[in-house]
């Protein structure tokens, strides 16, 4: 169970970010609190942050922190200063956000492949 105060530990994500995917491609995301218990993530087509192409949300509901992107949902299992970890509710992977010492954000996705082997992918976000 998480409190509103704990939910607001996600404030380290607020703002505009330029990400680098594992294949080297850039992406552009913006995180903003839209209500006391709601954080919206908007992916934009370009660094102008003018063309939204995708959205996801993180919400606090009755003590649970849930992330939703399209039909997939995750539940927070850790919310610390500069770190959040989510496990799947009905999604193919787990993920975490971690603030690094240089101000960047490290995003790690973890899943198990068809053969049962653990897999992961790491991306980094830097302030736009």
Q: Write the CATH number for 53.
A: 2.40.128.20
The 10 Å Cβ neighbour count of residue 102 is 7
Q: How confident is the model at residue 22 (pLDDT cuts 50, 70, 90)?
A: confident
* Domain containing residue 101: 4-127
Rounded Cα gap, residues 10 and 79, in angstroms: 8
Does the pTM surpass 0.85? The reply is yes
- In 3D, which of 10, 32, 17, 9 has the Cα closest to residue 103? 17
Residue pLDDT, tens place only, 43-95: 999 999 999 999 999 999 999 999 999 999 999 999 999 999 999 999 999 99
- 21 has a pLDDT exceeding 90: no
pLDDT at site 125? 97
Q: How many domains does the chain have?
A: 1
CA 104 to chain CA centroid, Å, is 13
DSSP state of 29: E
């Amino acid at each position: 169970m998480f409190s509103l105060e704990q939910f607001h530990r996600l404030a380290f994500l607020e703002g505009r970010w330029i990400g680098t995917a594992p294949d080297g491609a850039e992406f552009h995301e913006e995180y903003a609190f839209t209500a006391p218990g709601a954080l919206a993530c908007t992916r934009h087509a370009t660094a102008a942050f003018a063309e939204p192409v995708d959205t996801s949300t993180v919400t606090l509901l009755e003590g649970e922190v849930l992330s939703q992107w399209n039909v997939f949902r995750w539940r927070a299992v850790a919310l610390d200063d500069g770190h959040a970890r989510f496990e799947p509710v009905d999604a193919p992977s787990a993920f975490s956000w971690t603030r690094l010492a240089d101000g960047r954000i490290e995003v790690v996705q973890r899943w198990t492949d068809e053969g049962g082997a653990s897999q992961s992918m790491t991306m980094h976000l830097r302030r736009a």
